[in-house]
Structure 1
């Protein structure tokens, strides 16, 4: 739970501090995947309405980030990766972060509902609740499956984008969700392998902390093997096509190769080279997701000109 004892009340938070509170890097992923979900949907949305809808989805993502930082300030203070965040660094008070998160939550949900449809607005509300309450307040500190179940929050944005256009859910939007949902565990477990000391100090039950690095390596390989056919399966839906399939084949072959390399290594090798293989896999996992969704955009663009699809 948040601890505001480090807050320096003699200093006012700067604009950049409040931006950081919204987790802009995470928000960029939310915006991009939601935009793709909207763009590949079979219903045309006016560009201005699309822009407004994505803006409020982004605000909802920022609201989730602020609520997460408010609640997690105590463990953020302990971890090297997060101790520079606005609240543990004493730049913004915990109460300010909570107020901002709640305000942005209400604004984003109401305005998305009014701008597009209430199904999309309520879907955004559920996503914020899932990330802030189900993941941050419950799963993160209680189970090593935190990132598996909690990863659903990061997988909802393309479904919300699709709902903005169509007012509902379909196989295509569910498959986009599944792609992100199955990608999330190997992505974060690779990070946890070389940040294990931080999670141990903070008392966060990430898989390497509770089951050891050897078990985590096996889990990364298993999830990557399960992910590959699901990623390719998305290419067989109405929003897929040969361009997406070609990109997916290459990316999943490379991802599997990286997971296999992680599985083969022991801790002595990893510690000797500073976890280079694990860090490389983590960085590639970001490109993996971005390129899959970029390929979906390309398919949509080619389809517009009568050149895409099967």
Structure 2
């Protein structure tokens, strides 16, 4: 049975001058721009109570109201891809995503994603936008993600993400020895010259990352990061901006640096580490059903444990 979606947003001044369909895509971020455009044309998405047109410009301050029936989304095929489910109830799933699994189909990754796996294991998610996915992890970042099983749960989780009340902590191994923890409060947007990268830029969206030192090695540091915001590649960009890039990061990692006198096994693992050394270790949010605060943790995966073991051994042998 189709679910009825009801939602509304006030257009912020920051979106003034945008096309209506573009502004709607920013505000109703769970839905594709094409789907929103169809709702605008059918009158399901109104502007101050009147029908709108996708190409009309918004001035800021308008009230956008959406009342629409959600039909099952049949654009993506279910695929039998194994999932590690940390928690499951009638409102939410918590998944420990492995390295190498893309979250959502896109150009270059049309299938074989977490979304395809969710549709196989939980077919009812075809009736929820993006199969219940409310936030993402990079393909080669491991760890915890929450997935909504109902439209109401998805709406509640998105609101918590926007209010920054979802707590997300990550473990990372960076190049360089940090003397202390700190925070990075620097906007992130598209790199001005390389559209595939993100960068700290004055025209970017606000982004805040807090980090603290967990363990120091001779040429590296194990840090724990807490996100206030959830920008694309945020931790990778912010720590590289502080000149502590993540080990194994193919985009922001810079030139490989090896500790002087390091043993060959450590040199090899640092040269060959196959992904950015980043793991979503803890996730906490208010449960959409009970309202209670819930918290989940995921242990470090084997590749990061091995990397840390080699760095500890290197530190010990050089004392």
What's the TM-score once normalised by structure 1's chain length? Answer: 0.28
Higher strand share: 2
Higher helix share: 1
Structure exhibiting the larger radius of gyration computed from Cα positions? 2
What's the TM-score once normalised by structure 2's chain length? Answer: 0.27
